[in-house]
Chains A and B, each alone.
Chain A
């Protein structure tokens, strides 16, 4: 029973397609025959409209192609960049503060590292060193070490 139903549906679909095709052909013939009878001014306006439509289509395709060529350079980065770029664009004050905070944190981190590094080489630690400052400053001692 079901197989018969399916066959019936297929036949009906095929018939509908044939009818649509025939209608389309009739329309094309009708348009062609009427186009022969168009006046020159109407032909000219149609040609201008066609030219304008093609121009717009070409322009849109060019923009799309340019956009694709940029995206091709890195989809993931573009996706992230696009999203975060849009986010930062929407939150300018927040993003400015964030940049300033990052700069200040970097500055203080570098300064702290530098201070820690310098402490062991500071004058105070030199004075408290195993050797007295005179030993480090005495050019004669350095020269004597070189010869011994």
Chain B
């Protein structure tokens, strides 16, 4: 009976490993031709450069495509509009953006509104001044954080 239990537990464990392993490999290796219609429609702005993206970049973009149907039409339009710029950001910039986005989500509605105004105000600054501010700010993440 103990042998039976051991075999059953091993089987469940092996199955879980197999399922997780297969899903990781599948997500990372898919080419543009292998995408389904819904994924191509969402990721269309990246069509020309998809096959040059690294596997982990493709995986992130596929995550975006899978979350896309959960949004309303306005948000879907924003995603399509911003996708190309997003794919061209460096890992440092993306990780910074994720961290700031989480902080932004935790703010009150008034604070969010204030921050939107501040962003518009910041964009009115001369590019040279914004470049100077960027150059003076240290990177938040190290290489180890991004692996």
Residues of A whose CB lies within 8 Å of any CB of B are 92-93, 96-97, 100, 104, 119-145, 148
CB pair B96–A136 under 8 Å, yes or no, is yes
For B75, the chain A residues whose CB sits under 8 A away are 125, 128
For the complex of A and B, 6 pairs with smallest distance between CB atoms: A140-B133, A128-B75, A124-B67, A139-B137, A136-B97, A140-B134
A140 touching B137 by the CB < 8 A rule? yes
Say yes or no for B51: interface residue by CB 8 A criterion.
Answer: no
B97 touches A133 (CB 8 A): yes
What's the dominant secondary structure at chain B's contact region?
Answer: helix
Evaluate contact between A122 and B115: CB separation under 8 angstroms.
no
A142–B64 CB distance below 8 A: no
- Smallest Cβ distance from A46 to chain B, in angstroms? 49
Give B64-93 interface residues, CB cut-off 8 Å to A.
64-65, 67-68, 70-71, 75-76, 78-79, 82-83, 85-86, 89, 93
Q: Is the CB of B104 within 8 A of A131?
A: yes
Find out whether the CB atom of A123 lies under 8 angstroms from the CB atom of B64: yes
B56 interfacial contact with A, CB 8 Å:
no
Q: Which of A119, A130, A136, A140 contacts B100 (CB 8 A)?
A: A136
Q: Are B133 and A133 in contact (CB under 8 A)?
A: no
The answer on a CB contact under 8 Å between B76 and A128 is yes
Partner of A120, one of B83, B96, B105, B132: B105
Question: Residues of B at under 8 Å CB distance from A?
Answer: 1, 4-5, 8-9, 12, 60, 63-65, 67-68, 70-71, 75-76, 78-79, 82-83, 85-86, 89, 93-94, 96-102, 104-105, 112, 115-116, 118-119, 122, 125, 130-134, 136-140
Query: B residues within 8 A CB of A136?
Result: 96-101, 104
Output the nearest chain B residue to A123 by Cβ-Cβ distance.
Answer: B64
Q: A138 to B115, alpha carbons, bound, how many Å?
A: 14
Q: Jot down 12 A-B pairs with beta carbons below 8 A, ordered by A.
A: A100-B8, A119-B70, A122-B67, A123-B67, A127-B78, A128-B75, A130-B116, A136-B100, A138-B122, A139-B133, A139-B138, A142-B137
Minimal Cβ-Cβ distance residue in B for A146: B137
Task: Report Cα–Cα, A148/B125, bound state, in Å.
Answer: 13
**Is the CB–CB distance between B67 and A143 below 8 Å?**
no
Instruction: State whether A92 and B5 are in contact (beta carbons under 8 Å apart), knowing that A121-B98, A137-B89 are contacts in the complex.
Output: yes
- In the complex, the chain A residue whose C-beta lies closest to that of B116 is A130
B78 near A137 with CB under 8 A, answer no
User: A123-B86, A137-B94 in contact; A128/B8 too (CB < 8 A)?
Assistant: no
